[in-house]
Structure 1
């Protein structure tokens, strides 16, 4: 594909596959300009950084239980030095840093952007056992990374609000560009559907964090009233035998997820914390009403195509699922409309275009 005028290529730095999003974004960017992508994940095992890892582990322990060693000043400073030594943060062309986890601080003169689904203070604000953890040194480096960026690209508006109010970024430097999905939308408009009762689907790889126990308790109440109700779990599930009406599929490849969505009538993810909520976008683009939680960007994603409830509130979740069942035709119509909106905007090509336009612009 011919490279657009004014786009001289891009260096992309990321840590791992980011739930499948990185490969899709990298390809969408490569369709528009030359991309030199570097995965920093292998450096976590590099022999030459063993000393930094040990210092990072000690720093994490001092910060308290559950603090990852990758979110320390010791590790990210060492990572920064290695990245600079390899010449990956040069001024010859723009740099896109995916996620704030590496907390790199590019030198002056480097035009760079950050694309992330969440920032440290946003995750920490959740509180309790599910909050994000990091050391003070890591947070200082993350703040420097964000404040020095030419543009910060985020998936949803709740993250943008935190960047402006808590990090002090100018609003015109923060851009909500959304995200693409890992599952293609349905090939055809699925149209209205009568669901009595709706078949429920849960998608999430972290059972406790995603509100799985709360969902099982709420579902048990509903199943006791109507044994026809069903709930399918994808990604994770509880230990031990499953309650009546519940089945677990375990991990499902992205290529097979379309079928899982198509066998459901509604998506339920009552999570305690969510960086963005790509599964909600995937469900809505296939016409599924959603019951989500009130954290992060979930209410914005769902809109009026479902219901958002406080995380951990079994009574509220039970009521929401009952309401969804009683007025399913209404929520189905809204999900089809919201899904059409998301199909037009939440694609990796559109995300890539927005990022490149801003990084190569003024």
Structure 2
């Protein structure tokens, strides 16, 4: 029998964007609890280029399993093509979207015409959303949701022993979001506003109009002033940039406040205790039920996904080059042409 193949982006070696190859690959078959999705669009996220590079700076014990050849990508929007016999929640022809198999593997395989997905990682695509915008939502939206609204799992964080418990947000809460124009940041801003919080957005000046349109109450251009010197008595800082410099935001917090670095840095528990603040983080995990809740907010117009740019699947290299230039407003998405599979 002939082998049925599809078009996909694959890695045969680790390196820069030039190692992304557009080529034929076998169409995967759904296993128990899985569906086969015909992909219309795939979101581009930092773990995609971490996988492309081989995660050279990550300790071996923290690396998820992955092997070459590898099809990157975890964010997908498309149409169910088939479902395993034990799947009851989805049927062929339904439009779905999801964050696939994260963080258990970086081999989500969304950069392809077809991908298999655990049914529990999918939700029905919001009717008000096209596939491009839906593909931009899963990882960024679930990161914002699990940091700010509801964790939704009891898996320990690889970065710390303390569990992450989102602070309740309401009209008496002031939230500062660093990196507010990016994928996680612009969605977190809208979720905080949905809960009634006052939001201070930090980004470069080019993004001010965009962020105020999303509901930011105050804007800080980090190129003109340092946010850690400009504000005090903040209840919560969500630092979507994170890393070594995240610690500078401790001085902005009131006693009882919290700092959530999306990319964890070095913190001193004794210093945090002396200041009377909490520093916790988590690692986003696939969750179809939470994604469905986010979908309801998008259908209602409460939250919207901004698209920085789109690229054809064959141009994934250009998409990764765009990501490397930074200053992204919203999400980068790959569009997948609906060519017939190759026999």
TM-score by length of 1: 0.29
Q: Which has the larger radius of gyration?
A: 1
Structure with higher helix content: 1
Higher relative contact order (CA 8 A, sep 6+): 2
